[in-house]
Amino acid sequence: MTTVAAHRVPGRLGRFTLRTFRPQIYVTYGVLWVCALEGSAVALTGTPWRPTGATCVRAVSVVLVLLFLRMLDEQKDLEYDRVHHPERPLVTGAISAAELRGAMAVLAVVAAGLNAALSATAVLLVLAAFAHGLLAALLERVSAAVRDRQLLNLAVVCPVQVLLGCYVYGSTAAAGTVTADWRGAVLIVLCVCVFLHFEFARKTAWEAPPGARLYSADLGTGPSVLIVMGLVAGAVACQIVLFAADGGSLWPLSCLPAVLPLWGARRFSTARRGGWPLLPATGFVLGTHLALALQAVALR
């Protein structure tokens, strides 16, 4: 076992983060997700949304949880990466499991401390997301079925998205900014549909190399494509349920990014080879969250 000098650890962690947790993607996603969910919750009360210090705490907390999960994934995927991704930092020794575990502990403590300034409810909800990540990793370690079967693995891992949605909405309600009701559940389902669209899209391809972890390998390409587009339809349906009944003139704005998956589906079907184009899938995620946030700000 190689011992790393303490003064080198921050730099190694920084390089790991920049390589595997690209800020332009993950931080942007986390911030927009919080703004879309919190902003929409406030807008549904009939009040224009404006970011506050609490919004910043929620955004930072979500990003910290996402980084925590990325560090956890690096460890739990080690054996798979040794075969399929030998360039990964943990495989090459650019970072160690001990360094990652130490950083994960710090992330959890920092998130709990930040949310202590909001409410006890916020602390409990954000820690629930950290705890679920650890529980899911434990289940993957002890169960080959959870580890190797893509759909079962998704069923075990995906609830963290629900928990983060509950954290954002629940902490907003606990602050008295909104009154919790059924629309909160629909907002969370909307965000989960947007995330799962990207999750299925990035693991849908015409070919399945041996050992590849693809949903299309388990389900078939056709059914996987139907799920990708069904999740887009689910996200649009949630927006119609939430916003169309109020007669707001801006609600079609948040549905406009759904054009991107249609373009992606056309490109994928025409190519008949390779994987689902990630640009339109990413654009749908970022575009939907951005449009929801702008809609909340522009409410009259």
How far is 182 from 195, CA to CA, in rounded Å? 20
pLDDT at 248: 55
pLDDT at 213: 82
pLDDT at 144: 87
pLDDT at 10: 85
Q: Residue 247: pLDDT band by 50, 70, 90 thresholds? A: low
Q: How far apart are the first and last CA of the chain?
A: 61
CATH number of 181-300: 1.20.120
Domain with CATH 1.20.120 in the chain: 181-300
What global pTM score does this model have? 0.92
Percent of the chain surpassing pLDDT 70:
96
Q: What is the pLDDT of residues 96-127, one digit of tens each?
A: 889 899 999 999 999 999 999 999 999 999 99
State the average pLDDT over residues 38-62.
95
pLDDT at 122: 97
Architecture (CATH level 2) of domain 1-179: Orthogonal Bundle (1.10)
Q: Are 79 and 73 in contact (CB under 8 A)?
A: no
State the average pLDDT over residues 163-189.
96
pLDDT at 1: 47
Please state the φ and ψ torsions of residue 41, each to the nearest 5 degrees: -60, -45
Q: Which position has the higher pLDDT, 32 or 79?
A: 32
Mean pLDDT in the chain? 91
pLDDT at 88: 83
Domain with CATH 1.10.357.140 in the chain: 1-179
State the average pLDDT over residues 262-289.
95
Q: Are 4 and 99 in contact (CB under 8 A)?
A: yes
CA atoms within 13 A on the CB side of 251: 17
Q: Which position has the higher pLDDT, 147 or 294?
A: 294
DSSP states of 109-135 as a string? HHHHHHHHTT-HHHHHHHHHHHHHHHH
State the average pLDDT over residues 201-218.
87
